[in-house]
A and B are shown apart, each in its own frame.
Chain A
């Protein structure tokens, strides 16, 4: 069966510091991968998605970036965090090909002070 991992689970960072959140999927090959941000009262905002290694689509212009260095690894980064980057970050995966069910990881709670 497939599993999805995210770390760290929680993170407190000062404004202006860098960020690296990691997501890995096990038990499947060539998954589609997604990064979402969930801010209080604002639902889920899709940040990035990837259909393959090195293929990243950005949905929202911002100071975040994503990379997919390996088939089942998806990384969310920032060079300099803003207060507005605080939130709950969720990674998800789906089977390759057409639109399909997305399966979510446990999330990372990021607080920028």
Chain B
């Protein structure tokens, strides 16, 4: 079975600084990979996804993520953080064949300081 690890429970970044949120997965082959964001009291919004092809994926709100097969990682990045980016971020993984549900990491809470 696949698993997802988000090693950072909380991260604080100054507004305007760059951001990288880490995500590592465990799966025997290349999986489908997702990043979602959740603002307090709201549902999850898809930021970006990787199914195949270019390993650098562009998403909404200026986010990007890079799939690194050798490191089993799919880290989320943003060059300049805005205060409105403060939220919880979830990485998710699913097998790339047949049908399966998503497996989510436990999330990373991003705090943005002025």
Contact = CB atoms under 8 A, between A and B. Distances in A.
B45 A104 contact: yes
B104 A43 contact: yes
Given A34-B101, A98-B97, A43 B41 contact: no
Interface string A34-74: 10000001111010010100000001000000000000000
B107 A43 contact: yes
A102 interface: yes
Contacts of A101: 34, 46, 49
Contacts of B44: 44, 90, 92, 104
Chain B, interface size category, equals 20 to 34
Interface string B73-108: 000000000000000001000111111111011110
B45 A99 contact: no
Contact of B102 (A90, A102, A106, A109): A102
Contacts of B34: 101
A44 B90 contact: yes
B49 A107 contact: no
Contacts of A41: 106
Q: Which applies to chain B's interface (DSSP): helix, strand, loop or mixed?
A: loop
Contact of A107 (B41, B99, B105): B41
24 contacts: A41-B106, A42-B106, A43-B104, A43-B107, A44-B90, A44-B104, A49-B101, A59-B101, A88-B41, A90-B44, A92-B44, A97-B99, A98-B99, A99-B98, A99-B99, A99-B100, A99-B102, A101-B46, A103-B46, A104-B44, A104-B45, A105-B43, A106-B42, A107-B43
Given A97-B99, A103-B46, A107-B42, 7 more contacts: A34-B101, A42-B106, A43-B105, A43-B106, A44-B90, A49-B101, A99-B95
Interface of A: 34, 41-44, 46, 49, 51, 59, 88, 90, 92, 97-99, 101-107, 109
Q: Which 8 A-B pairs have the closest CB atoms?
A: A43-B106, A104-B43, A104-B44, A44-B104, A99-B94, A106-B43, A107-B43, A99-B100
Interface of B: 32, 34, 36, 41-46, 49, 90, 94-102, 104-107
